[in-house]
Amino acid sequence: MTVSQQALATFDRPAKIHGRDAEAIGWPLALSVLALGTAGLVWVHWDTAFAMYDRWVNIHSYNHAFLILPVCVYIAWERRAALRAMRPRASWLGLILVSGFGAFWMVADAADVMAGRQVALVGMIEGLALAVLGWRVCKALLFPLLYAWLAIPFDLGLLPPLQTMATAAAAWGIGLLNIPIFVEGFFIDLPSGRYWVAPGCAGLNFLLSGFALSLLYGEQMYDGWHKRVACVVIMILVAIVANWIRIFALIGAGHYLGEVYDINDHYLEGWLFFAVIVFVMMWIGLRFRDPVPDEAETPPAASVSAPRPAALAAYLGVAAGAVAIGMLFPAYAAYQRDNLPPVAQVQLAFPQTAGAWRLEDRKTDWQPAFKGADAQATARYVNGDKAVDLFIAYYAWQGNGREVVAFGNEVYDNEIWQRQRGGAVRTRVGEQTAGIAETVLRSGARRRLVWHFYWVDGRIMASPVKTKLLQAKVNLLFGDRRAGLVAASSETEDEAALADFLKSLPPITDFVKNGAGEASGN
């Protein structure tokens, strides 16, 4: 068979890039754009990124997060052979993803929820990755992209149930030893002393690190999702039970050795104990490992022809647009903060009477503290032989670092008074009936009942979550930013007295007076 000279010339020339292939970008440029864009987003959202890093460093439950991003990079590097056969290309879906998470960041910032801002930042970075790498590449990197979310330090409200379960399990174990025991809330009283199952020893650190490790182990060792799900579920159960055993062992050792151990101070021993358990679980898991497939033939690398100038300009435009959208929302938030009206100094003035209740000049050791409040004070009201302590914290406007619902803002100080349990009640407050929160406090043998509610945009709220959402609405729409907390307390746990007092309570605005000075009250 004779091959024509024209055909030979065709074989010698590289194939033309056309259609979607002409829009593809080389890996060096795509990775450079992704790195620069990520650096830009982190720089603009530096407060959010640093807050995430600070929690990794200072909270034991999140120390494992330092390994999340290196693991993501390693898994991506493992898949480099398959990625070489692909070429990145711009995706307009990335702009939609960045816009959605940017709007979510705006709401979280207005409500001053740091975990929400951190979720939005990670989401915007992953939206940028979709914008500059394309759907096909991101699909190949789906596991490391999803795994990166574990770097966000939030607990999803797991601490209270973990504390409750750990206390119950430790008490059950101690009961098997026939040791006299009394349990109230998170306190365990033995003849040898009192132990407190604090949030730090609830086992959140074991649970989060075990969850992250089991996801990685399942992805690396097993092919089917059934085995991977089983791996994660078993590791979660083992992490929870391991913490129960740790607490039981410390309390038992403290009782028999005559020394009350602080459960929270034994992190090193706890981690060593957990590491041994994890090693055993991984060894058992190897018995069920799926066989390693034969080395597949490496797919040929995609051609690296330069894209058309128009395609390159469109690609860079999408990348720049994704970064610009991510920067737009903090710019608007800064504009809002810069245009807040000036706040006059205020003080709280407690009226001499509230219905049949009379103001009494008497100190109390129940002194909540709400950071950032423009004015806060405590006063005691009496009606015959009944007494109610009233605490008010007032905010002329809410913003970053000065909001009524914030970490550390509680109706107890955790030193003299500790939280025993919580709940909700429905009662009359002034002229309206509303649901309010209830908290029972403990200080040694003393008890105190506290009924409290938030006041935002003129509404009474019991839920911190709903209060935060209302704060976001008010801040975004330049509404009435005034807010406050009102707490009425009875050391005799007299519900009838609290209900009667709150019926006579004036509006919170009646307590606020312009001008500097100390509040009238305690």
Return the pLDDT at 136.
Answer: 92
Least confident of 103-117, 237-251, 340-354: 340-354
Least confident of 258-267, 459-468, 504-513: 258-267
- pLDDT(25) > 90: no
- pLDDT(194) > 90: no
Q: What is the pLDDT of residues 90-142, one digit of tens each?
A: 999 999 999 999 999 998 988 888 889 999 999 999 999 999 999 999 999 99
Phi, psi for residue 424 in degrees, rounded to 5? -145, 150
Q: Which of 345, 205, 218 is nearest to 275 (CA)?
A: 205
Dist CA 16 CA 439 (whole Å): 73
The pair of structure tokens assigned to 352 is 């001499």
Q: Which of 207, 206, 187, 189 is nearest to 197 (CA)?
A: 187
Helix (H) / strand (E) containing 395: strand 386-395
Return the pLDDT at 359.
Answer: 93
In this prediction, residues 411-437 reach a mean pLDDT of 89
Strands of the sheet with 182-184, listed across from one edge: 182-184, 187-190, 193-196
Q: Yes or no: say if 88 and 27 are a contact pair by the CB < 8 Å rule.
A: yes
Dist CA 452 CA 488 (whole Å): 6
Which comes out higher in pLDDT, residue 3 or 491?
Answer: 491
Neighbours of 253 (CB within 10 A): 11
Q: How confident is the model at residue 11 (pLDDT cuts 50, 70, 90)?
A: very low
Return the pLDDT at 177.
Answer: 86
- pLDDT(1) > 90: no
- pLDDT(251) > 70: yes
First to last CA, the chain: 106
- pLDDT(52) > 70: yes
Q: Yes or no: say if 85 and 301 are a contact pair by the CB < 8 Å rule.
A: yes
193-196 and 346-348 as β-strands: parallel, antiparallel, unpaired? Answer: unpaired
Q: How confident is the model at residue 23 (pLDDT cuts 50, 70, 90)?
A: low
All structural domains of the chain: 18-154+308-338 (no CATH), 159-286 (no CATH), 346-514 (3.40.1000)
Which comes out higher in pLDDT, residue 69 or 192?
Answer: 69
In this prediction, residues 176-205 reach a mean pLDDT of 82
Dist CA 403 CA 191 (whole Å): 43
Per-state percent for the chain, helix, strand, coil, to nearest 5: 55, 20, 30
**Three-state DSSP state, 387:** strand
Return the pLDDT at 6.
Answer: 41
Q: How confident is the model at residue 477 (pLDDT cuts 50, 70, 90)?
A: confident
Dist CA 520 CA 522 (whole Å): 7
% of the chain surpassing 90 pLDDT:
44
Mean pLDDT rounded to a whole number for the chain: 84
Return the pLDDT at 352.
Answer: 92
Return the pLDDT at 517.
Answer: 40
Dist CA 39 CA 126 (whole Å): 13
Neighbours of 464 (CB within 10 A): 14
In this prediction, residues 141-162 reach a mean pLDDT of 89
Kindly report the pTM of this predicted structure.
0.76
